[in-house]
Structure 1
Amino acid sequence: MTDTTISIAAPSPASQRFVDEYKTAMRHVASQVAIVTYGRGEDRGGITCTAICSASTEPPALVVCINRSSPARDGIARAGAFAVNHLTDEQSEIARAFSQSSQVAAPFDLGQWSTGSEGAPILAQATANFECRIDQCIEIGGHTMFIGWVVAVQTAPGSTLLYRDGFFRRLAQE
């Protein structure tokens, strides 16, 4: 079997009205909240992210989308690896700290962190941690899509933190 790449021309620029409607619709979609981290020695950082999905299960791979203007985008590219730390509904303070461009306190002071095999910080008690080695970077619109091979995973019990319509949310028990 051979790999095939299909290229389709980018659409013409959308009207501002359509972009606003798209953003409004996306705010109605609940997403899991994770901290995407990177690290190489003293050069480490992270960002709160909801644009994450599985790309493949065999072999395991994840996709993470990061805004090109974010310092985390360049940090991830420099490191060549990243970790995805899915938060519990009790870790919203950590999500807030990593979502602010200028933090009052260092975000790594919140929670218990260790260093993964690829150098990225790993958050203890996250519902799931995925350590990834970058395979591809794809520029799309104002974002970079990082596709990473998963090289290590760990899980812990807890209810997943969600984000919808500008607020952190909890899953309701049935």
Structure 2
Amino acid sequence: MLAPETSAYRNAMARLGAAVNIVTTGTLDNPIGFTASAVCSVTDSPPTVLVCLNRTSRARSAFCEGGPLCVNVLTSSHQDLSNHFASPNTMAERFATGHWHTLATGAPVLQEAAASFDCKISQIVEVGTHSVIFGVVQALVSHDNAEGLVYFNRRYHSLPCHQG
């Protein structure tokens, strides 16, 4: 059996809905960040997440230095911010929007995020066109009433927050 063509694979993957995130590293003085939907939990003991980053990304070298990583889960009001971080803007231009602070590692944390996972990078595995970055969570913040933002079929969709 032949492997699917790249375009067929990408079209099928567009049907896999995913949370939209801004992933950061560096410091508030020298922030680096990009928009990512390829993020997931690995384990809760120790709490670990993974992030996939294209090897051609200009942000990649900063993450490969092995420092901090923060996954900022975007809310339904962050479509413009997601696009802003996915654009060719400079890092200074990207971080001029939003309110940024730090937690344990010093990586930029978006104050308005639905949740933020502040991590120390534990390993990076190269797979095809991407680097798979594993981060062990050192601190986290969660806003229980935030509405979610997902990317499905090449469009943004809001997810309501239902309590109870």
Contact 1:40 1:79 in 2 (8 A): no
TM-score (norm 2): 0.89
Tell me if 1:94 matches 2:81: yes
Matched, 1:76 2:63: yes
Query: Which residue number corresponds to residue 141 of structure 1?
Result: 128
- Unaligned segments of structure 2, at least 5 residues: none
TM-score (norm: length of structure 1): 0.84
Percent identity of the aligned residues? 33
Ranges in structure 1 where 5+ consecutive residues have no aligned partner: 1-11
Cα root mean square deviation, aligned: 2.1
User: Which has the larger displacement, 29-38 or 163-172?
Assistant: 163-172
User: How far is the alpha carbon of 1:76 from its aligned partner?
Assistant: 1.2
Sort the Cα spacing of 1:111 and 1:42 in 2 relative to 1 into closer, same or farther, 3 A. closer
The answer (yes or no) to whether the contact 1:38–1:79 under 8 Å persists in 2 is no
The alignment covers a number of residue pairs equal to 160
Report whether the alignment pairs 1:171 with 2:159. yes
Q: Secondary structure at the match of 2:64?
A: helix
1:138 and 1:173, CA in 2 relative to 1: closer, same or farther beyond 3 A? closer
The amino acid across from 2:6 in the alignment is: V
The question of whether the paired residues in 1 share the 8 Å contact of 2:25 and 2:69 is answered with yes
CA deviations over 1:74-115 (Å, ceiling 9, x no partner): 111225220000000001111011001235x81211111112
**In the TM superposition, what is the alpha-carbon distance from 1:42 to its structure 2 partner?**
3.6
- Structure with larger Rg: 1
- 2:106 aligned partner: 119
What residue in structure 1 maps to residue 26 of structure 2? 39
SS where residue 138 of structure 1 aligns?
A: strand
What is residue 19 of structure 1 aligned with on the other side? 6
Q: Which amino acid in structure 2 is aligned with residue 67 of structure 1?
A: N
Name segments (4+ residues, structure 1) moved above 4 Å.
none
Contact residue 28 and residue 101 of structure 2 kept, 8 A: no
Q: What amino acid does structure 1 have at the position aligned with 2:24?
A: T
Question: Which AA in structure 1 matches 2:152?
Answer: R
Residue type of the partner of 1:169?
Answer: H
| Cα distance in 2 for residues equivalent to 1:123 and 1:109 | 12
> C-alpha distance in 1, partners of 2:160/2:99?
27
Residue 3 of structure 1 corresponds to which residue in structure 2? none
Q: Tell me which residue corresponds to 2:147.
A: 159
